[in-house]
Amino acid sequence: IEERGTVFVEPTTEVYEGMIVGENNRDNDLTVNITKAKQMTNVRSATKDQTSVIKKPKKLTLEESLEFLNEDEYCEVTPESIRLRKQILNKNEREKASKKKKKAE
């Protein structure tokens, strides 16, 4: 995920579907499974198993979070954290809603 943009969440943060976990290098939204673990197989390669270094995530303040939002996104503020999320959490429902919106225009 780091090759494609900036990450906003720590590695141990609990995430849910529709939560914005980073910023894509391109203009479009990118749906990712950030909880997917590295495959552990019996086949090893010297170049493949190099230690991966994870960059420190970008922590957004409330002001930065509000500036980052698009019209289809919300900012959740709790005593423990500030989270960005989509208004419609399910990816398939988001796609249906965007198609319906384009059709109405």
pLDDT tens digits, one per residue of 22-37: 988 888 888 888 887 7
The reply to whether 49 falls in a domain is: no
Nearest-angstrom CA–CA distance, 40 and 13: 22
Please give the pLDDT value at position 38.
66
Q: Find where tokens 């673990």 sit.
A: 37
The structure tokens listed for 62 are 């409330």
The reply to whether 50 falls in a domain is: no
The Cα-based distances of 20 to 50, 63, 76 in angstroms read 28, 16, 11
Res. 42 pLDDT band, cuts 50 70 90: low
For the chain, the straight-line distance linking the first and the last C-alpha, in angstroms and rounded, comes to 34
In the predicted structure, residue 44 carries a pLDDT above the cut 90 = no
Contact 24, 98 (CB under 8 A): no
Q: How many domains does the chain have?
A: 1
Question: Average of pLDDT values for 63-72?
Answer: 93
Please give the pLDDT value at position 18.
93
The reply to whether 42 falls in a domain is: no
The reply to whether 41 falls in a domain is: no
Instruction: Work out whether the CA dihedral 82, 61, 1, 38 comes out positive or negative.
Output: negative
Nearest-angstrom CA–CA distance, 36 and 19: 15
The reply to whether 22 falls in a domain is: yes
The reply to whether 72 falls in a domain is: yes
- Global confidence as pTM: 0.76
The reply to whether 32 falls in a domain is: yes
Range of the domain at 22: 2-36+56-104
Please give the pLDDT value at position 68.
92
